[in-house]
């Protein structure tokens, strides 16, 4: 039984206040978060907390030197009433990879799993109803809390998970929206931290993202930082293109290895498409019949148009969601909501 600290019922939200079908991708306070501290070289017990704040030393390495990692995964309430968490071992493994990348202690998969399931169970009333098409977003976070002034790893860490019910990440949900290519800003250096899920990658994308939003487009497509000649990924999602019965997605050291993309590669193969993970020269964008952004938050967000403003070129994929994107979306969400058989054992059913 985990230790429960600081239960504050005062601000408890009632379910009547939630408009499940019109949720945005935003933060909503839920009942509890879970925390595990790493002190004296070992992980402690899982603690349950209802406070939204963290007591933090002002010299904590997460604040000054970006020693922080996060993850994102989702729980879905199925038509059968069961709650399924999608591919949580993959998120545990990616967090461990990030930890190796920026010298933080790795949380074992079993501890990660226990914490995710506990956070979901404790906030069960916030898992959106099946009919709403919404889901419970699960946000694990690992930060260096120990004080340092020189640049070096902290001697103490905090792992925590909060959850929040969410709707679509990009406005409009599963409909086509425009995106923009940038060459003015890079998300990640060729041998930098792009492959890890660290906050710094998002800091470097905030300026160009805001500029893109002001132009009315959903997100920014980054190119490889060394040559700006190959497609990399969006600020919060991977890229894929469809043509001639092929699912094509970039391969690069500076792209975050998306678990959704990994799943779509499998789904594409299961649906009879050929899967190619390779360099995508910018000019090849003109040859795709369909294109999309994919990720936990984005699910599949079909691309209507991609603006290359530097070259005054628009890659137009049409206003209507393409047939292949639709098939893959239905299959992926079908597995997540329990409508399609989970043949690859991707879901963890919460008992």
Q: Can you give the binding site for ligand COI, defined by CB under 6 A?
A: 72, 236, 295-297
What residues numbered 70-99 form the site for ligand PLP, per CB under 6 A?
72
Query: Which one of ligand COI, ligand PLP, none interacts with residue 252, CB within 5 to 8 A by kind?
Result: none
Reported as type and span, the H/E element at residue 305 is: strand 299-308
- Please list the residues that pair with 70 across neighbouring strands: 141
Residues 6+ positions from 321 with CB-CB distance below 8 Å: 174, 175, 176, 302, 329
Question: In the bound complex, which residue of the shown chain has the CB atom lying closest to ligand COI?
Answer: 72
Spell 72-105 as b/e; 16+ CB within 10 A means b.
bbbbbbeeeeebbbbbbebbbbbbbebbeebebb
Q: How far is the CB of 42 from ligand PLP (least distance, A)?
A: 28
Instruction: Identify which of residues 252 and 258 has a Cβ nearer to ligand PLP in the complex.
Output: 258
Residue number, 83 or 236, with CB nearest to ligand COI: 236
Rounded least distance, CB 47 to ligand PLP, Å: 26
Shortest distance, CB of residue 150 to ligand COI, whole angstroms? 30
Q: Is 295 in the site for ligand PLP (CB under 6 A)?
A: yes
Task: Find the binder of ligand PLP among 296, 301, 336, 347 (CB under 6 A).
Answer: 296
Residue 306 forms beta bridges with which residues? 179, 315
Which is closer to ligand COI, CB of 91 or CB of 324? 91
- Tokens 């043949």 locate to 343
Q: Which does 282 bind (CB under 5 to 8 A by kind): ligand COI, ligand PLP, none?
A: none
256 binds, among ligand COI, ligand PLP, none (CB under 5 to 8 A by kind): ligand PLP
Catalytic (active site) residue 197: yes
- Only segment of 128-136, 173-181, 259-267, 334-342 that touches ligand PLP (CB under 6 A): 259-267
Q: Which of 31, 156, 233, 308 is close enough to bind ligand PLP by CB under 6 A?
A: 233
Return the residue nearest ligand PLP (CB atom): 295
- Per rule CB under 6 A, is residue 236 in the interface with ligand PLP? yes
Which CB, 210 or 244, lies closer to ligand COI? 210
DSSP, collapsed to helix, strand or coil, labels residue 111 as: helix
CB of 40 to ligand COI, least distance (A): 31
CB 296 within 8 Å of CB 328: no
Nearest to 69 by CA among 165, 187, 161, 146: 161
Q: Coil, strand, or helix at residue 342?
A: coil
Q: Name the β-bridge partners of 163.
A: 138
Choosing from 34, 237, 306, 332, the residue that interacts with ligand PLP (CB under 6 A) is 237
Q: Which residue, 69 or 285, is less far from ligand PLP as judged by CB? A: 69
> What span, in angstroms and rounded, lies between the C-alpha atoms of 216 and 281?
26
Options 45, 82, 121, 197, the catalytic residue: 197
With CB under 6 A as the contact rule, the residue among 252, 260, 324, 336 that binds ligand PLP is 260
Helices within the chain (DSSP H only): 61-64, 88-101, 109-122, 199-214, 259-270, 323-336
User: Are the CB atoms for 250 and 232 separated by under 8 Å?
Assistant: yes
**24 vs 28, 156, 169, 171, 314, CA distance in Å?**
10, 35, 7, 8, 29
- Helix H segments across 215-344? 259-270, 323-336
Compute the distance between CA of residue 228 and CA of residue 224 in angstroms, rounded to an integer.
5
Task: Please tell me whether residue 292 binds ligand PLP under the rule CB under 6 A.
Answer: no
Residue 258 makes contact with ligand PLP by CB under 6 A: yes
| Residues binding ligand PLP (CB under 6 A) | 72, 233, 236-238, 256, 258-261, 295-296
List, by residue number, the catalytic residues: 197
């Amino acid at each position: 039984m985990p230790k429960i600290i600081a239960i504050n019922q005062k601000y408890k939200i009632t379910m009547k206040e939630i408009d499940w079908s019109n949720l945005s991708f935003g933060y909503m306070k839920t009942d509890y978060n879970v925390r595990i501290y790493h002190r004296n070289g070992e992980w402690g017990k899982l603690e349950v907390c209802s406070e939204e704040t963290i007591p933090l030393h002002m010299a904590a390495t997460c604040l000054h030197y970006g020693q922080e990692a996060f993850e994102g995964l989702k729980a879905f309430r199925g038509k059968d009433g069961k709650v399924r968490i999608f591919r949580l071992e993959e998120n545990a493994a990616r967090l461990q990879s990030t930890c190796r990348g920026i010298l933080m202690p790795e949380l074992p998969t079993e501890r990660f799993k226990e914490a995710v399931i506990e956070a979901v169970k404790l906030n069960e009333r916030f898992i959106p109803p099946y009919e709403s098409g919404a889901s419970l977003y699960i946000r694990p976070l690992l930060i260096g809390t120990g004080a340092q002034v020189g640049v070096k790893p902290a001697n103490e860490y905090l792992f925590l998970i909060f959850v929040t019910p969410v709707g679509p990440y990009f406005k409009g949900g599963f409909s086509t929206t425009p995106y923009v290519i940038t060459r003015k800003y890079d998300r990640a250096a060729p041998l930098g931290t792009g492959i890890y899920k660290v906050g710094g990658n998002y800091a470097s994308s905030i300026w160009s993202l805001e500029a893109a939003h002001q132009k009315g487009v959903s997100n920014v497509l980054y190119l490889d930082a060394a040559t700006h000649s190959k497609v990399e990924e969006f600020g919060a999602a991977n890229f894929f293109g469809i043509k001639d019965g092929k699912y094509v997605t970039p391969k690069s050291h500076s792209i975050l290895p998306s678990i959704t993309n990994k799943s779509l590669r499998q789904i594409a193969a299961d649906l009879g498409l050929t899967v190619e993970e390779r360099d995508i020269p910018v000019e090849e964008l003109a040859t795709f019949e369909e294109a999309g952004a994919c990720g936990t938050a984005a699910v599949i967000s079909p691309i209507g148009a991609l603006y290359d403003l530097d070259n005054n070129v628009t890659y137009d994929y049409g206003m209507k969601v393409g047939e292949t994107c639709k098939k893959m979306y239905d299959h992926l969400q079908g597995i997540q909501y329990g409508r399609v058989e989970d043949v690859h054992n991707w879901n963890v059913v919460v008992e």
